[in-house]
Structure 1
Amino acid sequence: MNLPPRPASHQDLPDWLHEGARVFDPGQNREAVVQFIGPYEDPCSRRVMPCAVFLRPEGGGRERIVAPDVPRRAGDG
């Protein structure tokens, strides 16, 4: 199975994906706001994501951490 390479840093991200951007989160089937983009280490598995995207649903709610290839440009969902 050939998977597309994942961005390793902010420099590899599309211009529309930045902190404060409105995006579509397909995992929640709703729009969200990017809170932070940066490294994340899962405290249970110790797995490190060098460039994780932290999303919070529009209007508030629980933050979600996803890989940078998960969110889509708002309006494209």
Structure 2
Amino acid sequence: MINDETLNEYRISGILIRVIRDNDEKNDVKGNIVAWDSEVVMVRKRNRKVVKLSREYIYQPYKEERICLEP
């Protein structure tokens, strides 16, 4: 689970992030961190829609190489 300090760093700096939900890269969510609580993170996608995602997913800067999940 991602910690509050990292989420705050991503939000303040405005870094474009990638949320990895499964092995399929097509299912990744790209956007900016807007807010969070103990269970969910709100991400504003490039098309300005805001989605709620579980904190259990993997959050990483979009510039970094995508982490590959084990099947």
Q: TM-score, normalised by structure 2?
A: 0.52
Q: Which structure 2 residue ranges, 5 or more long, are not aligned?
A: 22-26, 67-71
Structure 1 vs Structure 2 CA RMSD:
2.9
Paired position in structure 2 for 1:74: 62
Question: Can you give the 5+ residue segments of structure 1 that lack an aligned partner in the other structure?
Answer: 1-5, 40-48
Equivalent runs, 1:12-51 vs 2, <5 Å? 13=6, 16-19=9-12, 20-27=14-21, 28-39=27-38, 49=39
1:20-56, Cα deviation, whole Å (9 max, x unpaired) = 43201223324211111333xxxxxxxxx2xx32112
Q: How far, CA to CA, are the matches of 2:62 and 2:9 in structure 1? A: 9
- TM-score scaled by length of structure 1: 0.49
Change (3 A) 1:14 1:62: closer
Counterparts of 2:54 and 2:15 in 1: how far apart (Å)?
15
Higher helix content, 1 or 2: 2
